[in-house]
Amino acid sequence: MINLKNSTRRFMPPIFSLTILLSLPATTLNADEDYNPEALKSGRVDPSMHLQQGSNQTQAHKINEVIYKATGFGNTFMVVTDEGNVIIDTSLPGMAPKHKSLLNAVDDGPVHSIIITHGHGDHTGGVALWREPQTKVIAQENMVEFLRYQKRLKGLFIQRNSAQFGFDLTSATSSSASESAGVNMLPNTLFDKRLNFTLGKEKFEVLHTPAETYDALTLWMPEYKAAFVGDLFYRSFPNIYTLRGTKPRWALDYIASIDRVLALGPEILLPSHGEPILGNENITAEMTRYRDAIQYVHDQTVVGMNQGRDVYSLMREIKLPAALDVGEAYGWVSWSVRGIYEGYMGWFDGDPVNMYAESPRSIYPDLVSLAGGAKQVISLAEQHLSEGDSVKALLLIEAAMAAEPNNQAVLAVRLRILTALRQASSNLNESGWLNHGIKQTQKKLKKSDKVL
Ligand SMILES: [Zn+2]
């Protein structure tokens, strides 16, 4: 919970057993590090800062006469009706109590329904908190399997999320309270393609719009032409592959679902991350550009695949044209190229050497020895680094580390390379993984006693 009156501000969501993705333990927010959207746009802040979004808000944002929004890394929306309220998404567990108190200050009527746009933890984190005995928890039917998938792999997802979002695994323990919250966040009302209902004067149409996940939905309120699209739209290229790990995300699903929303003629677009977009002209312009950017990357990848091009070449070469440049603060085009390529074809690249259970790393010590030892490799890595080719430098250091894992000079150069990459990064996820690499290297450097 966030208590803005305390001098040390703790952001301490519990860990939910079924909401593995983005279930985050403690991070601190100091007085001079309050959430700053402009700083975040640059990507040059600690990624955990993104999770503090909305921590300063003192009241819910009124979108229109019935729709309200509480802001967070994941937003929570509330629709007020005469027959109870509808909550759309519930943010992260740590932010949910604040969102609930802000929205309850607007209207504390019974919660008729909670609509979960998909089963990621930054959307399901407050379901148990909002839920009342009579509440319908509405989700697309694929969410059941999606939650099982996250639970099945929770050991790995916790590690990956802690690395990507920069929290300490030692504090990522579950409690009995979180176990019961896990059960209490399960949906009790599932639908396949569409679910319509009316509450008081308000009409709700819930549509299956798969994209980032196969359980994703959009809530459409025809009276207001308002579309609650969950993660179907970001103000950045999307994560068609996310580094913390995911099943394939199908680019063509994004396109079909965006078209479905555009065909409704929305006047109010309410994404679960970031700010609303108002006016059909603005929405159409932004969503069309976003859709076309995805289509372009998909099509270029498919063309390259059919030409027999390898995935690394396509990752380097495929760039968004200026007219479709939606930014890469969140997703990254090159990861998406690889996500699309390997989503379609899997991991084997057609080279017999890659059929076998032997990593290329296994022969790095031999190569380093042939080069005359780690010292020679460091020298070439430093040359690449000084010429601005940090990634090649990092690859060479990988080889040196395979040969001499505790060599302090090797680790020191690795730290310099990762730091240079971090300083140049303007992408949330890249920064997160570089921070992780920096921390790991610093730890090893401290432990290391062997000097070259
Ligand atoms: Zn999300």
Intra-chain end-to-end CA distance of the chain, in Å: 47
Count of Cβ atoms closer than 10 Å to residue 302 Cβ:
15
Residue of 88, 102, 118, 80 whose CA lies nearest to 2: 102
**CB count, 10 Å around CB of 246?**
18
Residue 26 exposed, middle or buried by CB count within 10 Å (0-12, 13-18, 19+): middle
For position 448, what pLDDT does the model report?
Answer: 61
How far apart (Å, rounded) are the C-alpha atoms in residues 70 and 57?
A: 8
> How far is the centre of ligand 1, averaged over its atoms, from the C-alpha of 273 (Å)?
7
The single-letter code of the amino acid at 153 is: L
Distance between Cα 324 and ligand 1 center (Å): 23
Q: How many angstroms is it from 232 CA to the middle of ligand 1?
A: 9
CA 318–ligand 1 middle distance (angstroms): 26
Tell me the CA–centroid distance for residue 205 and ligand 1, in Å.
Answer: 21
Tokens 């319908």 identify what position? 136
Quick one: pLDDT at residue 433? 94
Task: Please state, as a whole number, how many other Cβ atoms lie within 10 Å of the Cβ of residue 46.
Answer: 15
Residue 181 is predicted with a pLDDT of 55
Cα(89) to ligand 1 centroid in Å equals 9
Closest CA to 410 of 441, 446, 371: 441
Residue numbers of the chain with a pLDDT score lower than 70 = 1-51, 168-183, 448-452
Cα 325 to the center of its chain, rounded Å: 20
Q: How many CA atoms lie within 13 A of 297 on its CB side?
A: 35
Show me where the domains of the chain are located: 9-208, 360-447
Tell me, in angstroms, the distance from the centre of ligand 1 to residue 311's CA: 27
* pLDDT for 449: 54
CATH of the domain spanning 360-447: 1.25.40.880
Tell me the CA–centroid distance for residue 50 and ligand 1, in Å. Answer: 12
- pTM comes to 0.86
Tokens 């979002």 locate to 165
235 close to 277: Cβ distance less than 8 angstroms = no
Q: CB-hemisphere CA count at 13 Å for 144?
A: 8
pLDDT, position 30: 32
Read off the DSSP letter of residue 407. B
Whole-number Å distance between alpha carbons of 378 and 128: 53
Residue 16 CA to ligand 1 center (angstroms) comes to 16
Q: Pick 9-208's CATH classification: 3.65.10.10, 3.60.15.30, 3.40.50.300, 3.40.50.2000.
A: 3.60.15.30
377/368 Cα distance (integer angstroms): 7
How many Å lie between the centroid of ligand 1 and the Cα of residue 272?
Answer: 7
pLDDT for the residue 21: 36
Distance 423 CA to ligand 1 centre (A): 26
- pLDDT the model gives residue 217: 98
The answer to whether 136 and 113 are in contact (CB under 8 A) is: yes
